[in-house]
Amino acid sequence: MAGGAALHWQLRAVAMAAADAGGRCALRLFRRSDLEVEWKSDESPVTRADREAEAACKEVITAAFPGDGWLGEETGEQPRSSGRSWIVDPIDGTRNFLRGIPLWSTLVACEEIDADGARRVVAAAVALPALHETYDAVRGGGARLNGVPIAVSQVARLGEALFCYETPAWFIDHGLGAVFEQLCRGSGLQRGGGDAFYHMLVASGRAEIVVEPKLAIWDVAATSLIVEEAGGRFSDLEGRHDIRATNAVITNGLLHAEVLATIATLRRR
């Protein structure tokens, strides 16, 4: 069931409060030498900080909307009948977190079911506590950084663009090695290893392209809305808007078609 605009603004406030609570919880454990690391079945790390941050997010959301569904990276899915669900990544960039690199974030998104049964994210927040940055967006209401409206850049030439990525290995593993090489050769500047932070660089006009060959829904549910509300574009590698795809292309919009064409031409070459 779709909610009204006033409700969406309330959902954004809750998303921001949840991201803040989770981020502050994780920050207390950041750069702790005694933090023990476990490894999940997908070979990704998890710590006490991830679990406690997710619990802090969930406490805020449950208090405000106890009937809503939940999907958290660490605790899984709990469906409800409200027509809304919350999608949370308590620490996006756990590997950065473990190495003391401040490019990690807490991601919170609220997804709503429309009258026609379609799902869409209507409110989102991304907190980067170690950088003192919080991004947020509400569908149709724009995106902000620390309360100030943001917009994507107007760079329209690939040769002037900043191309961001997680790691070259994921491109190679998914048959995109040639795509990575071409985007590196064609773009003006390249940076790796920033996770959702790089999505926010696109949203705030500081980068133009992010290509993610491998990710999960909680990695992009929040960031996709913020990028779009800032004037950018989000899709999967084939151009479809699908936060449940296991890959993504995020751009300032002006370069999206060119990036998709490059991927289509060079994929698996």
Residue stretches of the chain with pLDDT short of 50: 1
Token pair, residue 237, equals: 């590698």
Q: Measured between alpha carbons, how far is residue 107 from residues 21, 89, 167 in Å?
A: 11, 5, 20
- Assess whether 129 and 172 both reside in one domain: no
In a domain, 146, yes or no: no
- Assess whether 239 and 205 both reside in one domain: yes
Let me know: does 135 contact 200? Beta carbons within 8 Å: yes
pLDDT tens digits for range 119-132: 999 999 999 999 99
Asked whether the whole model's pTM tops 0.75, one would answer yes
Total domain count, the chain: 2
pLDDT tens digits for range 90-149: 999 999 999 999 999 999 999 998 878 889 999 999 999 999 999 999 999 999 999 999
- Assess whether 133 and 173 both reside in one domain: no
Q: What is the pLDDT of residue 2?
A: 52
Residue-range definition of the domain harbouring residue 93: 5-141
Q: What is the pLDDT of residue 81?
A: 75
In a domain, 208, yes or no: yes
Q: What is the pLDDT of residue 138?
A: 97
- Assess whether 249 and 175 both reside in one domain: yes
In a domain, 150, yes or no: no
* End-to-end CA separation in angstroms for the chain: 44
DSSP 139-197: TTS-EEETTEE--------GGGPEEEES-HHHHHHTT-HHHHHHHHHHSSEEEE--THH
Q: What is the pLDDT of residue 247?
A: 97
What is the DSSP code (8-state) at residue 36? -
Q: What is the pLDDT of residue 103?
A: 97
Let me know: does 23 contact 129? Beta carbons within 8 Å: yes
In a domain, 111, yes or no: yes
Token pair, residue 74, equals: 């660490």
